[in-house]
């Protein structure tokens, strides 16, 4: 071991030679010693024999930088602990605030731009985002960019295949958002667009004062292979002049039981739209009686082109105003088609009153050339739109049948049995229906025509035509069992059957919101 000051003093030959030898010994042994050299220089080596470390003087000659361990079978490289903003090991071209450091005993962490991302700690845990910063964790697949995502900003976990698959859970509060179910029919013509008309299951027109007329169909024009159908509105009578009280929209009302947890909770609406108009369109959210409204805007960039849109309502529903969080209309979702000044307001906050759009809302009903399409509608808790939740057909149908149940004949067999019954007299009887799912409330009942049905006793073949519209008179408490009274002529007293007598026969039970 040797240390020297790096200066050869003047002297006799032997003395100078000894001094040179001492200086060379110090260099060759890296100034090894139990204490640091008394005279130091920038970039000078020192073999610290007390701690068995090889060190180098820093560029300013103010301290030592440890390079490596000198003892043991395998050489090691001890470094200072460092911090998240000044890690002990960093990469030259990535900045000095990104690299590896130790936040504590038996811990190793990774930081980038001064923020801890991962911490491997002594508790045998791997902790991501231990400091609580808004840092996401994401795993990419071969073809999927966001296969697994932990969104630290929203405290949500998203798994691509899970969120879009059968184990996704009941996220979507919109029923029949993919427009697959249409019990009432697939085409609805001559619809006044200033009033409510239910068309595809759970979807209705709505509005007031406008003179537009349209046809709604279950269309096969869809944005991609995920969807089989869309809702198509074809404007057949235009209203090009929007008066102050004109308004029109497509609407779905969400039952209160399915909306109550959105109070104070951010939620996101996502959907596919194909509009004949470019520019600003609006979606409005209303409470039960429309005395509170939240209006949002979305922009259509290309006319007659499918575009995907997302809308987030930060903070969710409020408690001010009149809300029904039982089996009434808990939340109404309006896709605005036109809105006069009386129904216009500012986007982005809850407003008092019935507001359906902003002053920028385009008029989708201004031409008979206009076709408006809607598909893949999803409303879910959280600030992130996940892939559309596709429920199996039977499940979706059952959800729809809580609000509407249609018994209809078909073109190939026009006389199927609908329900059993009993004839009390030759002119009065009752039929008994069992709904496949409890309906929201006791339904209203309508028939295509009384003449489309027969009522009689198949035992002796006596079947009579109904001469009066069936009316509901008695229901079970769970709204799944019901009795319908009928009148007619020629009934045979006793057991009877209610059946279709026409390919157009249709019996509709409605418990819509």
User: Cβ–Cβ contacts within 10 Å for residue 263, how many?
Assistant: 15
Which pLDDT does position 149 carry in this prediction?
76
Residues 100, 101, 102: CA angle, nearest 5 degrees: 140
CA distances from 23 to 1, 5, 10, 31, 59 (A): 12, 8, 14, 9, 22
Residue 149 covered by a domain: yes
Return the CATH number at 487. 2.40.30
**Residue 69 corresponds to which tokens in the numbers above?**
């361990």
Report d(CA 212, CA 198) in Å as an integer.
17
List 463's β-bridge partners, or say none.
Answer: 456
Pick the last residue of a domain from 373, 399, 425.
399
Are 393 and 410 in the same domain? no
Query: Where are the extended beta strands (E) located within 184-319?
Result: 187-192, 204-208, 213-219, 230-237, 247-255, 267-274, 279-286, 292-300, 307-313
- Helix ranges (H only) for 103-171 are 160-163
Helix H or strand E encompassing 68: strand 64-69
**Residue 32 corresponds to which tokens in the numbers above?**
């090894």
**Domain range spanning residue 38?**
13-69
Report d(CA 276, CA 449) in Å as an integer.
38
Residue 3 covered by a domain: no
Which pLDDT does position 163 carry in this prediction?
52
Helix H or strand E encompassing 396: helix 393-401
Which pLDDT does position 261 carry in this prediction?
95
Are 96 and 124 in the same domain? yes
Residue 80 covered by a domain: no
DSSP 201-237: TT-EEEEES---EEEEEEE---SSTT-S-EEEEEEEE
Residue 377 covered by a domain: yes
User: Cβ–Cβ contacts within 10 Å for residue 246, how many?
Assistant: 23
Residue 4 covered by a domain: no
Are 194 and 55 in the same domain? no
CA distances from 130 to 109, 115, 116, 121 (A): 10, 10, 7, 11
Residue 180 covered by a domain: no
The model's pLDDT over 272-322, given as tens digits with 9 standing for 90+, comes to: 999 999 999 999 999 999 999 999 999 999 999 999 999 999 999 999 999
Are 316 and 421 in the same domain? no
**Residues listed for the chain:** 513
3-state secondary structure 133-152: CCCCEEECCCCCCCCEEEEC
The number of domains in the chain is 4
Are 394 and 484 in the same domain? no
Torsion of Cα atoms, 418 then 420 then 423 then 426, to 10° = 30
Which pLDDT does position 166 carry in this prediction?
43
Are 496 and 434 in the same domain? yes
Which pLDDT does position 139 carry in this prediction?
74
Are 134 and 256 in the same domain? no
Conformation bin of residue 48: beta by default, left when phi > 0, alpha when psi is -120 to 50: beta
CA distances from 298 to 45, 267, 311, 334, 355 (A): 66, 16, 8, 13, 16
Are 465 and 491 in the same domain? yes
Are 204 and 330 in the same domain? yes
Are 96 and 63 in the same domain? no
- The residue behind tokens 């004109």 is 246
Report d(CA 240, CA 238) in Å as an integer.
6
Are 316 and 449 in the same domain? no
Residue 23 covered by a domain: yes
The model's pLDDT over 45-82, given as tens digits with 9 standing for 90+, comes to: 888 888 888 888 898 989 988 887 877 655 666 677 88
Helix H or strand E encompassing 439: none
Dihedral pair phi/psi, residue 373, rounded to 5°: -120, 145
Pick the last residue of a domain from 399, 416, 443.
399
| Residues 237 and 378 sit within 8 Å (Cβ to Cβ) | no
Q: For the chain, which residues score pLDDT lower than 50?
A: 164-167, 459-462, 467-468
Residue 256 covered by a domain: yes
Report d(CA 395, CA 508) in Å as an integer.
20
Report d(CA 66, CA 72) in Å as an integer.
16
Are 199 and 340 in the same domain? yes
CA distances from 4 to 24, 358, 370 (A): 9, 83, 93
**List of residues 6+ apart from 13 with CB closer than 8 A:** none
Which pLDDT does position 389 carry in this prediction?
92
Which pLDDT does position 461 carry in this prediction?
41
The model's pLDDT over 255-276, given as tens digits with 9 standing for 90+, comes to: 999 999 999 999 999 999 999 9
């Amino acid at each position: 071991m040797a240390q020297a000051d790096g200066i050869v003093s003047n002297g006799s030959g032997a003395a100078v030679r000894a001094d040179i030898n001492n200086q060379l010994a110090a260099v060759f042994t890296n100034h090894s010693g139990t204490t640091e050299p008394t005279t130091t220089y920038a970039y000078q080596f020192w073999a610290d024999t007390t701690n068995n470390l090889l060190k180098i003087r820093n560029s300013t000659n103010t301290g030592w930088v440890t390079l490596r361990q000198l003892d043991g079978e395998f050489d090691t490289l001890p470094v200072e602990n460092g911090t998240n903003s000044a890690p002990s090991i960093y990469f030259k071209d990535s900045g000095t605030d990104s690299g590896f450091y130790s936040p504590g005993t038996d811990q190793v962490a990774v930081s980038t731009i001064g923020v801890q991302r991962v911490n491997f700690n002594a508790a045998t845990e791997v902790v991501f985002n231990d400091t609580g910063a808004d840092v996401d964790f994401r795993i990419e697949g071969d073809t999927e960019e966001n296969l697994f995502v932990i969104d630290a900003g929203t405290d949500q976990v998203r798994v691509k295949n899970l969120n879009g698959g059968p184990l996704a859970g009941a996220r979507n509060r919109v029923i029949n958002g993919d427009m697959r179910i249409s019990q009432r029919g697939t085409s609805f013509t001559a619809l006044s667009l200033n009033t409510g008309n239910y068309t595809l299951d759970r979807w209705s027109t709505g509005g007031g004062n406008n003179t537009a007329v349209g046809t709604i169909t279950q269309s096969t024009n869809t944005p991609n292979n995920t969807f089989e159908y869309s809702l198509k509105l074809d404007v057949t009578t235009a209203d090009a002049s929007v008066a102050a009280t004109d308004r029109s929209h497509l609407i779905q009302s969400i039952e209160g039981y399915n909306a109550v947890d959105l109070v104070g909770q951010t939620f996101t609406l996502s959907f596919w739209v194909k509009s004949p108009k470019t520019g600003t369109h609006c979606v409005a959210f209303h409470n039960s009686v429309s005395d509170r409204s939240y209006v949002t805007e979305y922009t259509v960039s290309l006319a007659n082109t499918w575009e995907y849109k997302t809308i987030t309502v930060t903070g969710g529903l409020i408690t001010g105003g009149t809300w029904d969080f039982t089996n009434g209309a808990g939340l109404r979702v309006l896709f605005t088609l036109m809105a006069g000044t009386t129904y216009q307001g500012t986007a982005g906050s809850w407003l008092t009153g019935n507001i359906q759009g902003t002053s920028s809302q385009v008029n989708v009903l201004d031409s008979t050339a206009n076709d408006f399409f809607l598909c893949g509608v999803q409303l879910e808790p959280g600030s992130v739109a996940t892939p559309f939740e596709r429920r199996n057909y039977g499940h979706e149908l059952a959800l729809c049948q809580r609000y509407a149940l249609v018994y209809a004949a078909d073109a190939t067999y026009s006389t199927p049995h609908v329900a059993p019954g009993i004839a009390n007299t030759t002119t009065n009887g009752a039929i008994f229906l069992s709904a496949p799912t409890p309906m929201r409330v006791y339904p209203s009942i309508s028939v295509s025509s009384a003449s489309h049905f027969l009522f009689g006793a198949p035992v002796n073949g006596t079947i009579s035509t109904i001469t009066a519209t069936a009316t509901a008179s008695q229901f079970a408490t769970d709204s799944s069992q019901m009795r319908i009274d009928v009148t007619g002529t020629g009934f045979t007293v006793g057991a009877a059957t209610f059946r279709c007598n026409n390919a157009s026969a249709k019996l509709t039970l409605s418990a819509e919101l």
